[in-house]
Structure 1
Amino acid sequence: LYQADLPALESCTRDDGTVPAAVGMVFLSHPVAEKLLSFYTKPPLDACTYMGLDSGQPPLMLSLFFDFLLPMTSSVSEGDFVREMRSGPFGKPFTEHSGNLRFNMEYARQMLWSNLHSFRIKACLIEGGKYNYMTHTAVE
C-alpha cells in the first residue's frame, strides 16, 4: 500500500496492533541483476543513466519498486502497467499529457514488461522486525 488512507492501513493491522512495512531492501538474483544492467544501453531506458543523459536523451524518471519490480508480480496486467491504471509515476494512473514523455514512458514500460515479466518476486516478512521512524532532532 502506497500512501493509503487510514481504513486501508487498518485492514492490514496484525493481532499485535502493528502494520507490516515494506522497506527498501531488495535481493536480486543473478539473472535479474544481469537483465537490469543490460538496460543502460537500451533507449529510452538509457535516459535513466548518465550515459543516456550525456547522449542527449530527455531524462526519464523510473522507480525501482513501481517500474522495475512491478512487472515481476502476478497482480498487475500488461495493459494496466504500460498504458492504464498503473502506468504513471509511483504506480498511479498516468496524468501527464506531454506526447513525447508519454510515448517514452509507454515504450520504456513495454520494454520492462517484456524483459522482466517472466521473473517472479516474493515478499518475505521478518517476524519480530520493527521499523523505527527517525525524527529530525537527536533529542527523542
Structure 2
Amino acid sequence: MLRNIPALLSPELLHSLRAMGHGDEIVIADANFPATSHATRCHRLDGVSATDTLAAVLALLPLDSFVPDPALVMEVVGDPDAVPPIIAAFQDIIDSKADAPRPVAKLERFAFYSRAKAAFCIVQTGETRLYGNIILKKGVIGP
C-alpha cells in the first residue's frame, strides 16, 4: 500500500503511468471497447467506471499543455454534435482535476480506434454507459 494513490489503480497500471513519457497516450475505455485486440498493454478494471478511472488517473498524470487537444473522446456515430452524459462528466472531471484543463475534442469512431491502437496502454473499465472512452496525452512534470 502507498499513500495518496487512488486505490483503484492496480500495480500494473501504476507501472504504465510511471513508464509513460511526455506525449504518450493512454486510453480509458468502456466495457464494449475492443481493448484487448487494440492494445499493446491492456489493463482491466472490471467493475470500475470510466469516470472514476479518469479521476484517479488525473490525480497522477498531467495533461499535455503543448497540444491543443490533450483529451479526445469518440464522437457519436450518426450525430457528431451530440454530447452524451458521460462525455459531459468527463469534461467536468477534467475541469476539476487536471492541472491545465482543456475542452475535450472528438474523433470519428474509426479514427479513435486507430489512435487507440497507437496508445501506450488501454485501460478497459467496467463502464456500461455508451461512448465512455477517452484518450489522454501525458504532459510534462516540471522540476
TM over 0.5: no
Q: In proportion to residue count, which structure has more strand?
A: 2
Q: TM-score, normalised by structure 1?
A: 0.25
Q: In proportion to residue count, which structure has more helix?
A: 1
Higher RCO (Cα < 8 Å, 6 or more apart) = 2
Q: TM-score, normalised by structure 2?
A: 0.25
